[in-house]
């Protein structure tokens, strides 16, 4: 099975190498801003000419928004715009132009309805201070040295890695992987090199191919499984909050940069900012490590994993829980399970957002009209079942896999809810006429009380 996979390694750059990388990132920003200004100027000129009543065939020729069109315009203008262009790799300019071409396409598709989701705004100019330095290489010498502690990139030369690249090197030596591109990016105060690799993965099967597990994510427990297992939420951000506050106060007492007066940051401010950045990076690394261990274990163990389609954006509107929700990483859990289940020969089913997993009895299927946030146990009035609220939701998620198996390649309604839970006892698996929610290939119906259930876990 061929798949596209990323390998990310920390770098140990010398001061000279860091200046070279920053020069390439700056070149990408210059090309992006120049092309964006050119596109805006042409659009404004054509709009003004239309107000004069000029026909379309006489308007100023439009600038193509494709990467090839933007690159052609840039190559014609770069001797005047950037006379220093021979000092950096052509891939630096290509990085900025490619990002602009993608942003313009997303904006155009969003306006015409071709792109789903939120409306995408028009691209903005990149600031030298606020933009994350990044440059991408797609051609030239990109390789890992035999010692597996150095990589070679075009124009940047030989860069030392902070960790061994033996896993990627072994695949390349076995001819089961091919490097397609490399990106050097600064995350906080650290530099990383990310390789986009085409990997030939061996066919695998989960340890229990016929096992079905429902995963209910939350704040009190990061995940509650239908098997009864509870995965604690380590709350890395909360644990580091006191240290962050102390470092933030120390940073505010130093002389920082001021754009209005042109004041530069002092050395002490830079050292304090570095210390604060290290704490943020450690929190991010701990969170990433925990989520990877959780999702890898689920994908390797169970043949079918059922999760819920949560409205995370709506949950973040609660200012008291927004920090805890983002620290848990609900969306990252689902994203990782999506590709890890495929790698391990399993499948991921996503429950419909309006499916009331918390309000449905996992024993008899009766649905409650309301379930207060403070009720941590689900008590069924029909059959008398008493079970933990989160465990009940995980059991209902696991039961949805049977509907998918019954439907085959077709679709089956989860409960028929499109917005609110109706005031009637009904079996969750019963199909309601005239409803649109369904279990489709690769997804399972969504989830009704998902927001209420997750918010309740903080109390």
Could you read off the pLDDT of 290-324 as tens digits, one per residue? Answer: 999 999 999 999 999 999 888 888 888 888 888 89
Contact 390, 216 (CB under 8 A): yes
Q: Give per-residue burial for 310-333: e unless 16+ CB within 10 Å, then b.
A: bebeebeeeeebeebbebbbbeeb
- Spatial separation of the C-alpha atoms in residues 273 and 257, rounded to whole Å: 12
pLDDT at 450 over 80: no
Q: What is the mean pLDDT of the chain?
A: 85
pLDDT band for position 420 (50/70/90)? low
Structural tokens at position 77: 């203008």
**Greater confidence, 355 or 36?**
36
Residues paired with residue 178 on neighbouring β-strands, in sequence order: 198
- Spatial separation of the C-alpha atoms in residues 368 and 382, rounded to whole Å: 10
Interval 69-114: pLDDT, tens: 999 999 999 999 999 999 999 999 999 999 999 999 999 999 998 9
Instruction: Give the model's pLDDT for residue 240.
Output: 94
DSSP 8-state class, residue 356: -
- Spatial separation of the C-alpha atoms in residues 130 and 59, rounded to whole Å: 37
- Spatial separation of the C-alpha atoms in residues 295 and 333, rounded to whole Å: 7
Instruction: Give the model's pLDDT for residue 390.
Output: 86
Q: Which of 406, 401, 310 is nearest to 349 (CA)?
A: 401
CB neighbour list of residue 227: distance below 8 Å, 6 or more residues apart:
213
- Spatial separation of the C-alpha atoms in residues 243 and 59, rounded to whole Å: 60
- Spatial separation of the C-alpha atoms in residues 325 and 454, rounded to whole Å: 9
Of the candidates 91, 216, 309, 352, the residue annotated as catalytic is 216
Q: What is the pTM of this model?
A: 0.80
Instruction: Give the model's pLDDT for residue 285.
Output: 92
CA distance readout (Å), 424 to 146, 317, 361, 416: 68, 30, 13, 13
Quick count: other Cβ atoms within 10 Å of Cβ 288? 14
CA distance readout (Å), 311 to 383, 405, 435, 453: 31, 26, 20, 12
pLDDT at 7 over 80: yes
Largest CA distance in the chain: 80
Structural tokens at position 98: 């490619």
Instruction: Give the model's pLDDT for residue 455.
Output: 39
109: left (phi over 0), alpha (psi -120 to 50) or beta: alpha
Q: Which of 106, 48, 37 is nearest to 73 (CA)?
A: 37
pLDDT at 34 over 70: yes
DSSP 3-state helix, strand, coil percentages of the chain (rounded to 5)?
A: 40, 20, 40
Helix axes 267-301, 330-343, angle to 10 degrees: 50
Question: Within its chain, how far is the Cα of 42 from the centroid?
Answer: 34
Structural tokens at position 378: 């689900």
Interval 55-77: pLDDT, tens: 888 888 888 999 999 999 999 99
* Domain spans in the chain, listed from the N-terminal domain onward: 2-15+130-200, 25-112, 207-234+273-459
Structural tokens at position 424: 């009637």
Question: Within its chain, how far is the Cα of 91 from the centroid?
Answer: 25
Report angle CA 391, 397, 399 to the nearest 5 degrees.
105
Interval 427-436: pLDDT, tens: 333 333 333 3
143: left (phi over 0), alpha (psi -120 to 50) or beta: beta
Contact 316, 225 (CB under 8 A): no
DSSP 8-state class, residue 386: E
Of the candidates 91, 308, 309, 352, the residue annotated as catalytic is 308
Structural tokens at position 276: 């604060």
Instruction: Give the model's pLDDT for residue 407.
Output: 57
CB neighbour list of residue 373: distance below 8 Å, 6 or more residues apart:
452, 455, 456, 459
Residue 308 designated active-site: yes
Per-residue pLDDT averaged across 260-277, rounded?
91
3-state secondary structure of 157: strand
Per-residue pLDDT averaged across 216-231, rounded?
90
pLDDT at 416 over 70: no
- Spatial separation of the C-alpha atoms in residues 331 and 295, rounded to whole Å: 12
Instruction: Give the model's pLDDT for residue 362.
Output: 85
Q: Which of 378, 380, 356, 349 is nearest to 452 (CA)?
A: 356
The proportion of the chain whose per-residue pLDDT surpasses 90, expressed as a percent, equals 58
Q: Which of 345, 279, 319, 13 is nearest to 156 (CA)?
A: 13
Interval 163-192: pLDDT, tens: 999 999 999 999 999 999 999 999 878 899
- Spatial separation of the C-alpha atoms in residues 280 and 386, rounded to whole Å: 42
Of the candidates 91, 327, 352, 390, the residue annotated as catalytic is 390
pLDDT band for position 448 (50/70/90)? very low
Residue 390 designated active-site: yes
Q: Exposed, middle or buried, 390 (CB in 10 Å: 0-12/13-18/19+)?
A: buried
């Amino acid at each position: 099975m061929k798949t596209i996979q990323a390998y990310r390694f920390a770098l140990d750059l010398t001061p000279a190498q860091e200046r070279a990388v920053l020069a390439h990132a700056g070149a990408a920003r210059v090309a992006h801003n120049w092309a964006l200004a050119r596109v805006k100027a042409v659009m404004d000129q054509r709009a003004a000419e239309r107000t004069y009543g000029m026909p379309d065939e006489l308007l100023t020729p439009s600038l193509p928004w494709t990467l090839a069109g933007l690159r052609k315009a840039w190559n014609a203008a770069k001797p005047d715009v950037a006379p220093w262009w021979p000092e950096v790799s052509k891939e630096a300019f290509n990085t900025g132009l490619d990002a602009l071409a993608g942003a313009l396409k997303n904006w155009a598709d969003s306006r015409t309805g071709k792109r789903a989701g939120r409306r995408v705004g028009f691209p903005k100019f990149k600031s030298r201070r606020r933009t994350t330095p990044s440059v991408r290489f797609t051609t030239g010498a990109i390789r890992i040295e035999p010692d597996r502690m150095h990589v070679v990139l075009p124009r940047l030369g030989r860069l030392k890695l902070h960790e061994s690249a033996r896993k990627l090197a072994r695949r390349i030596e076995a001819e089961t992987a091919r490097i397609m591109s490399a990106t050097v990016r600064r995350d906080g105060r650290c530099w990383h090199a990310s390789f986009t690799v085409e990997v030939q993965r061996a066919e695998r099967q989960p340890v229990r191919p016929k096992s079905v597990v429902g995963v209910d994510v939350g704040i009190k427990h990061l995940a509650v499984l239908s098997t009864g297992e509870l995965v604690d939420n380590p709350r890395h951000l909360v644990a580091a909050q006191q240290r962050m506050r102390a470092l933030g106060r120390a940073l505010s007492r130093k002389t920082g940069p001021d754009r209005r007066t042109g004041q530069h940051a002092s050395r002490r401010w830079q050292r304090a900012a570095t210390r604060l950045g290290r704490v943020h990076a450690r929190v991010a690394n701990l969170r990433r490590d925990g989520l990877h261990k959780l999702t890898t274990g689920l994908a390797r163990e169970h043949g079918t994993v059922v999760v819920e389609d949560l409205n995370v954006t709506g949950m973040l509107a609660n200012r008291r829980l927004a920090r805890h929700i983002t620290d848990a990483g609900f969306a990252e859990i689902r994203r990782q399970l999506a590709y890890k289940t495929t790698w391990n020969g399993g499948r991921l089913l996503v429950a419909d957002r309006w499916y009331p997993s918390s309000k449905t009895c996992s024993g008899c299927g009766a649905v409650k009209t309301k379930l207060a946030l403070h009720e941590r146990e689900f008590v069924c009035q029909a059959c008398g079942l008493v079970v933990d609220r989160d465990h009940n939701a995980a059991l209902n998620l696991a039961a949805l896999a049977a509907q998918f198996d019954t439907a085959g390649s077709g679709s089956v309604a989860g409960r028929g809810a499109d917005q609110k839970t109706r005031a009637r006892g009904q079996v969750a698996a019963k199909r309601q006429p005239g409803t649109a929610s369904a279990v489709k290939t690769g997804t399972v119906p969504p989830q009704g009380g998902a927001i209420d259930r997750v918010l309740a876990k903080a109390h």
